[in-house]
Amino acid sequence: MRTFRSRTRTRTPRIPGERRMLVAMAVDATGSGMYVPFSLVFFHHVTGLSFATVGLVLTVVGLLGLGALPIAGAAVDRYGAQRVQLLLYGVRGTGFLLYPFAHSLPAFAVVALATAFGERAFPAVQQSLIGEVAQGADGDRLQASSRALRNGGLGAGSLLASLIVGFGGNAGFTAAAWLNAASFVLAALLMRGVKAERRAPVAAEVLPSAGYRQVFADRPFLGLTAANFLNSLGYAALSVLFPLYITTWLRGPQALTGIAFTLNTVMCAAGGVVVAARVRSRGARRTRSAALGSVLFAAAFAAQIVLGTFRPGSGLVLAGALLLIVALYTLGELVHSPSAGALSVAAAPEALRGRYLAAYQLSWSLSAALAPSLFTALMAVDGRLPWGVLVVTSLVAAAIVVRLERVLPGGAVRVIPAGRGVRVAVATG
């Protein structure tokens, strides 16, 4: 009996409704994984339009979709993150339901624009929801779980789509689109069973009427956003710079790109929660652990410069070195992502959390838009140059976060022990 009790005390208490949230995240990610890894091919097959047309439309609507962020942020502050999230699930699900019927250019552009609004706004809204349902270490744990499920779900969805297309041919792409739409419906149904309890703002807090003026006047939070922009360039490197670097500068086989992606995905899915829990158990400040993740990024990028200088002729040596670098890079991601995400949520005033996190999410979107042109321009000069730039941006980001430590709210910098300040319940009707 004593042994049983001691084990019970050591178990991390779950937030009521947490299982439903995590399952919804996994379902959402699995559906998205059915098209994210090969979006151009996917949309070409489900719409019948040319690759050039699909690529142009996706670029334009992706930029226009950034306009959804401030709108979604204001809606979260007024109506709550859960209501906005359910609306976005509906928009995204409807979009993928209609894609197979959007064979003309105008129809595809309209559906793609609506879906882009939902896709661009969703991460900021989900971050806001995590802030509503959990505080302190619970929030950090949910951040880590969300990241791990995202990676695992994308990998599972990609594999599932490959099987569907392999057996169904072109019709398999339509099936994948509709299964993705169904995943959003299922995720929405699961999230309806979780009711976030928003606390009414007190007099000492800023009121929603302050709007984005308050966000842009908050210099510490803008500093966090700037640091995240610098770090997000590093996140973009794996998908944008890494394949180009392998095939051109290192003259390695394209297969190494797939192996690197697989290693990153497996490490993130299997180790995300464990690494984040280890960081929390050591009592690290969120600012320090986020900075440590940035330093690990810089070390991985510096290793790429060394590898690109020697350029080993042996394929086995090259593959081994690249995988070690990817493992180091992924470790930086596992340390940085949960702490940085929880820091941004905790640093935002509750009454304006939606607007704050919409502004923060803009740093991710801008880096995603800038990274391809920046990396290719630098690669044209020297294959090692973009990695050198990333070393600098990562170290500057780490320095910014550490410097902001003294001006950020204490509750954002230091992790409150799990189990305190929980504000979520399972809906009963």
Residue 350 within a domain: yes
- Is residue 23 situated within a structural domain? yes
For the residues 335-343, what does the mean pLDDT come to?
Answer: 91
Q: Residues 277, 228: one domain?
A: yes
**234 in the same domain as 337:** yes
Residue 203 belongs to a domain: no
Report which of 337, 335, 341 is spatially closest to residue 360, judged by C-alpha positions.
Answer: 341
Phi and psi torsions of 143, nearest 5°: -60, -45
Q: pLDDT tens digits, residue range 357-401? A: 999 999 998 888 888 889 989 999 999 999 999 999 999 999 999
- Domain CATH number, residue 92: 1.20.1250.20
Structural domain includes residue 428: no
User: For residue 426, what pLDDT band results from cuts at 50, 70 and 90?
Assistant: very low
The answer as to whether 345 is a domain residue is: yes
pTM, entire model: 0.81
Cβ contacts of 254 within 8 Å, gap of 6 or more: 243, 246, 247
Inter-CA distances, 357 with 103, 128, 294, 304, 348, Å: 36, 7, 21, 33, 7
Q: Report which of residues 158 and 367 the model is more confident about.
A: 367
Whole-number Å distance between alpha carbons of 322 and 300: 10
Q: Is the pLDDT of residue 6 over 50?
A: no
| 191 and 215 housed in the same domain | no
Window from 174-178, 189-193, 273-277 with minimum mean pLDDT: 273-277
Task: Report the alpha-carbon distance of residue 58 to residue 176 in Å, rounded.
Answer: 19
Burial class for 7, CB neighbours closer than 10 Å (0-12, 13-18, 19+): exposed
Least confident of 82-86, 113-117, 157-161, 350-354: 157-161
Average of per-residue pLDDT across 112-117: 92
Q: Is residue 277 located within the same domain as residue 179?
A: no
Quick check: is 422 in a domain? no
Say if residue 229 is in the same domain as residue 179.
no
Looking at the structure, do residues 80 and 222 belong to the same domain, yes or no?
no
Boundary-marking domain end, from 196, 226, 250: 196
* Number of independent structural domains in the chain: 2
pLDDT of residue 407: 94
Q: Which of 140-149, 211-220, 248-257, 301-310 has the highest mean pLDDT?
A: 301-310
Let me know if residue 202 belongs to a domain. Answer: no
Instruction: Give the domain-ending residue among 196, 225, 245.
Output: 196
Residue 4 lies in a domain: no
| In a shared domain, residues 96 and 174 | yes
**Do residue 72 and residue 191 come from a single domain?**
yes
Name the residue range of residue 404's domain.
211-415
Question: Residue 102: CB partners within 8 Å, gap ≥ 6?
Answer: 47, 108, 110, 111, 112
Q: Residue 194 above 80 pLDDT? A: no
Residue range 72-80: mean pLDDT, rounded: 92
Residues 245 and 363 both lie in one domain? yes
Assess whether pLDDT exceeds 80 at residue 9: no
Task: State the pLDDT at residue 422.
Answer: 42
HSE toward the beta carbon, residue 421, CA cutoff 13 A: 16
Given 138, 163, 196, which residue is the final one in a domain?
A: 196
pLDDT, mean of residues 216-224: 95
* Whether residues 237 and 178 fall in one domain: no
| pLDDT above 60 (res 419) | no
Which pLDDT score, from 0 to 100, does residue 197 have?
61
Contact 105, 49 (CB under 8 A): yes
CA atoms within 13 A on the CB side of 332: 26
Q: Same domain for 192 and 215?
A: no
Provide the 3-class DSSP secondary structure of residue 194. Answer: strand
Is the domain of 232 the same as that of 179? Answer: no
